[in-house]
Amino acid sequence: MTFDPTPAPPEAATDDHLLAAWLAEQAGRRLLEVRSEGLEGRALKDAGDQAAHELLMRLLAEHRPGDAVLSEEGKDDKARLQADRVWIVDPLDGTREFSEPPRDDWAVHVALWQRGAGDGSTGDGDLVAAAVGQAALGETFHTGAPPVVPPSTSEAPRIAVSRSRPPEFVHGLATELDAQLVAMGSAGAKVISVARDVTDAYVHAGGQYEWDSAAPVAVARAAGLFTSRVDGSPLRYNQDDVYLPDLVVCRPELADRILAWIAEHGV
């Protein structure tokens, strides 16, 4: 089946925020198309990963031909370490949930790292634009128009955790905060759930890579949420080793309590 992307907005020629949002939307449209083709299980997961990756690589080559790309589904070209601009993408985050229609907790991650950006705490560069597309929700969250985080509607804090691999330490943290655990899929969906007032925090220490968190972390930062490693240190991207196993994303007022508990009890 031939997939025709909708035209990119003219402003995306120079606006990385709009380009990231458009890329995430197009990959999400392609994934919904793949989901409707009658595949199941592993075949559906593999088809979704491949289709979204190929589309994003083609569109990035067309619209930002001079930039490097780090994709979960592609070969890691270490030339990115000398590049000034690197797109960090996860074409389909939450493949398990994607393969279980009508679940909506899967996402497309598109982030841009730029050399010289940031305050120096994240090395020689930082994330400057990003989008998380949740096509099954009909929503794309991006740094050009960050989500406005409403006041929490829950009396008790809510912590997003993995459906399949919730880390043991989170149960102790939940007891400390008198919090409830909310299980869901994709890391992107969990981070964005904090911005959507579905949860109040996402704490993870079970192993991830840069593409799992780059785009959602950039959107969360733009929305005013707190983001860090579990030891409170900054999240660094476009590193030689792309393993980035842990993160904390939460409402700012919860950050000190979460980090203090982790510092005392570990993960």
pTM: 0.96
Confidence at residue 1, expressed as pLDDT on a 0 to 100 scale:
59
Q: Phi and psi (nearest 5°) for 237?
A: -120, 170
Q: Report the amino acid identity of residue 35.
A: R
**Is the pLDDT at 87 greater than 70, yes or no?**
yes
**Is the pLDDT at 267 greater than 90, yes or no?**
no
CB 139 within 8 A of CB 218: no
Averaged confidence pLDDT in the chain: 95
**Is the pLDDT at 2 greater than 80, yes or no?**
no
For the segment 68-83, the average pLDDT, to the nearest whole number, is 95
pLDDT tens by residue, 29-52: 999 999 999 999 999 999 999 999
Q: For residue 102, is the peptide bond before it cis, meaning its omega torsion is within 30 degrees of 0?
A: yes
**Is the pLDDT at 198 greater than 70, yes or no?**
yes
**Residues 6+ positions from 197 with CB-CB distance below 8 Å:** 149, 150, 151, 152, 153, 154
Q: Which two tokens stand for residue 123?
A: 């090395």
To which residue do tokens 């089946």 refer?
1
pLDDT tens by residue, 95-136: 999 999 999 999 999 999 999 998 888 889 999 999 999 999
User: Cα(25)–Cα(79) distance, rounded to whole angstroms?
Assistant: 28
